[in-house]
């Protein structure tokens, strides 16, 4: 695996190192030792799949607060997504900054999302599937979110939103969030 740190401290794009032959390729997609060597949480407490029918579907921006703050390893296994993270760690030099990357079934990339980050994505194709490895179990009382279209963030989503949940449309703006305590 190739770990490429993003401009947001602790967040990584992870590319596969493919061993190719006439059959295709083989690659390691997760290794606890390699994650630990990069200082990343290698705990997998839960795995989730998100399937999305329509291009332009938006999910996010979601996170969990302590004591159930979560890391995520996100990979698009079918179709393509525009994946976005926002640093919500008040002690971070990149606080309130965001980063985006395209994840697709063609590029095999994954995005490691540290605890204290909001995460969301927009589908770029119909029938898109996203696979998440979560470092913490879903804890409803710790679930939070911020608006995908918050003017303070100015995220440039690539497509008009075709589908979004009522819950995600009603998430608060960043300015109204209580600060997330340091991890």
The domain tally of the chain equals 1
Domain that holds residue 75: 2-176
Q: Is residue 181 part of a domain?
A: no
Q: Which of 82, 112, 132, 148 is catalytic?
A: 132
Helix locations, the chain, DSSP H: 32-37, 166-169
CATH code for the domain in which residue 47 is found: 2.60.120.10
What separation in angstroms does the CA of 50 have from each of 3, 38, 57, 80, 110? 24, 27, 11, 12, 15
Q: Is residue 154 part of a domain?
A: yes
In a domain, 183, yes or no: no
Preceding amide of 95 cis, omega within 30: no
pLDDT at residue 181, rounded to an integer = 53
Residue 145 domain-assigned (yes or no): yes
Read off the pLDDT of residues 42-84 as tens digits, 9 standing for 90 and up: 999 999 999 999 999 999 999 999 999 999 999 999 999 999 9
- Please identify which of the residues 53, 62, 98, 148 carries the catalytic annotation: 62
In a domain, 182, yes or no: no
**Is the residue at 84 inside a domain?**
yes
Gap between the Cα atoms of 7 and 61, Å rounded: 19
Identify whether 95 is a catalytic site residue.
no
Q: What is the pLDDT of residues 101-153, one digit of tens each?
A: 999 999 999 999 999 999 999 999 999 999 999 999 999 999 999 999 999 99
- Concerning whether 62 is annotated as a catalytic residue, the answer is yes
pTM of the model: 0.94
Tell me whether residue 48 is in a domain. yes
Find how far residue 86's CA is from the centre of its chain. Answer: 9
């Amino acid at each position: 695996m190739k770990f490429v740190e993003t401009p947001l401290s602790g967040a990584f794009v992870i590319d596969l190192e493919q061993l190719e032959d006439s059959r295709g390729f083989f690659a390691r997609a997760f290794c606890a030792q390699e994650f630990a060597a990069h200082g990343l949480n290698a705990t997998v407490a839960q795995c989730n799949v998100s399937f999305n029918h329509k291009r332009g579907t938006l999910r996010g921006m979601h996170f969990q607060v302590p004591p159930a703050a979560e890391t995520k390893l996100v990979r698009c296994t079918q179709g393509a997504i525009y994946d976005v993270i926002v640093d919500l760690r008040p002690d971070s030099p990149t606080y309130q900054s965001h980063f985006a990357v395209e994840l697709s079934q063609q590029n095999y990339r994954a995005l490691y999302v540290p605890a204290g980050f909001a995460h969301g994505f927009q589908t770029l194709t119909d029938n898109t599937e996203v696979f998440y490895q979560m470092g913490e179990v879903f804890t409803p009382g710790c679930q939070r979110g911020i608006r995908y279209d918050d003017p303070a963030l100015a995220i440039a989503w690539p497509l008009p939103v075709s589908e979004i949940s009522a819950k995600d449309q009603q998430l608060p703006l960043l300015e109204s969030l209580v600060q997330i305590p340091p991890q």
